[in-house]
């Protein structure tokens, strides 16, 4: 995430129309307001009735549920959501509107491909941050200019949404992004894995114990810490480590044991830390202290 000095963040106090404005010192401008016709009319007046495109996030705070959408004319779209809400987000209470503070003819958000690319990115981002997201988007093919604008806006949005307190996790680079639970099960099924029992951190798959850990990012790679029953299972070589990143990496405990220098000494410790490294040449490595092993063969790709 970019340093605060590069992007900056400013937020105004709640105004008489119940709108809270915020912005970066680059492009992003936002308006947060309740489900209110008065507030949306005030926003429309601010843009002198001109079309203003952008992204909007409907928030149901009680259910930790969001709907992420895009529109060429935010005013018209939100007015419909206020007066005739969809059943899947019927009880939304608050909306966050994002654009670059410019009307349609001047705005980068006026490009439908860029808006839809940002929409699908935000759907993935909010899912990563454990929201129930009741929206679907379509992947977009961007040209060179669109990619440049998109990348700049995404960098800002990550910083901005974090400062807003809406997200704390970020989507990693392409070969390291975390695979969410629903997609994880689909990938396993596609590759012929039979799931007998599914839990967030330990599942029964193909008759064996699979310990699911996404890891914590460190300089050596994604750190996975073995302790308690997780460490006991490793010591007995009874199971697999499943890391849901960059597709899925499934490592037999027997393989992990081979990189431990001195197993007797290692298991005397309270914890054992290993690191999964995704290299720039699309390899996957298992690292423990000064030892390293190529485990690319244990990687299942999404496609």
Q: What is the pLDDT of residues 119-177, one digit of tens each?
A: 999 999 999 899 999 998 899 999 999 999 999 999 999 999 999 999 998 887 667 88
8 Å CB contact between 253 and 232? no
Give the integer Cα–Cα distance in Å for 246 and 128: 14
Three-class SS of residue 113? helix
Task: Tell me the C-alpha distance between 29 and 258, whole Å.
Answer: 53
**What pLDDT score does 282 carry?**
83
Query: How high is the pLDDT of residue 173?
Result: 66
With a cut of 70, say whether residue 68 has pLDDT above it: yes
Percent of the chain with pLDDT over 90: 79
Q: Is the pLDDT of residue 2 over 50?
A: no
Element (DSSP H or E) covering residue 37: helix 37-46
The whole-number pLDDT of residue 23 equals: 95
Q: 257-303, pLDDT tens digit by residue?
A: 999 988 889 999 999 999 999 987 789 999 999 999 999 999 987 66
pLDDT at 72 over 90: yes
- Give the three-class secondary structure for 253: helix
Mean pLDDT of the chain: 92
More confident position, 95 or 172: 95
Coil, strand or helix: which one is 262?
coil
pLDDT of 202 above 90: yes
Residue 1 confidence class, pLDDT cut points 50, 70, 90? very low
Question: Does residue 245 have a pLDDT over 50?
Answer: yes
Q: Which range, of 14-18, 237-241, 253-257, averages the lowest pLDDT?
A: 14-18
Residue 3: what pLDDT? Answer: 45
pLDDT at 80 (0 to 100): 95
pLDDT over 70 for what percent of the chain? 97
Buried b (16+ CB within 10 A) or exposed e, 258-284: ebbeeeeebeeeeebbbbbbbeeeeeb
Mean pLDDT of 24-41: 95
Q: The pTM is what?
A: 0.66
> pLDDT confidence of 37, banded at 50, 70, 90?
very high
Mean per-residue pLDDT, 184-192: 92
250 pLDDT more than 90: yes
Nearest C-alpha neighbor of 261 from the set 252, 270, 271, 272? 272
CA 206 vs CA 19, 99, 239: distances in Å:
53, 48, 11
Average pLDDT over residues 94-105: 94
């Amino acid at each position: 995430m970019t340093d605060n000095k590069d992007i900056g963040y400013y937020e105004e106090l709640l105004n008489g129309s119940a709108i809270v404005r915020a912005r970066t010192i680059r492009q992003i401008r936002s308006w947060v307001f309740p489900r209110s016709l008065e507030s949306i009319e005030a926003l429309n007046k601010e843009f002198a009735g001109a079309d203003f495109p952008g992204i909007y996030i409907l928030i149901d705070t009680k259910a930790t549920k969001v709907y992420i959408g895009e529109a060429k004319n935010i005013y018209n779209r939100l007015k419909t959501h206020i007066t005739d809400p969809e059943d899947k987000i019927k009880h939304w209470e608050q909306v966050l509107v994002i654009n670059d503070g410019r009307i349609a003819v001047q705005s980068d958000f006026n490009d439908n491909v860029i808006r839809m690319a940002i929409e699908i990115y935000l759907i993935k981002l909010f899912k990563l941050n454990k929201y129930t997201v009741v929206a679907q988007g379509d992947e977009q093919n961007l040209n060179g200019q669109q990619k440049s604008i998109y990348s700049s806006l995404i960098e800002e949005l990550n910083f901005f949404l974090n400062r807003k307190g809406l997200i704390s996790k970020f989507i990693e680079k392409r070969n390291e992004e975390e695979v969410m639970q629903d997609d994880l099960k689909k990938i396993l099924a596609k590759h012929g894995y039979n799931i007998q029992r599914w839990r967030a951190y330990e599942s029964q798959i193909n008759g064996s114990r699979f310990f699911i850990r996404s890891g914590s990012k460190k300089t050596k790679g994604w750190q996975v810490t073995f302790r308690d029953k997780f460490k006991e299972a490793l010591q007995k070589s009874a199971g697999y480590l499943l890391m849901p990143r960059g597709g899925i990496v499934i490592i037999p405990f027997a393989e992990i044991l081979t990189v431990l220098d001195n197993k007797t000494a290692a298991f005397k410790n309270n914890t054992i830390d290993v690191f999964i490294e995704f290299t720039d040449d699309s390899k996957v490595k298992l690292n423990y202290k000064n030892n390293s092993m190529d485990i690319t063969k244990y990687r299942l790709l999404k496609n």
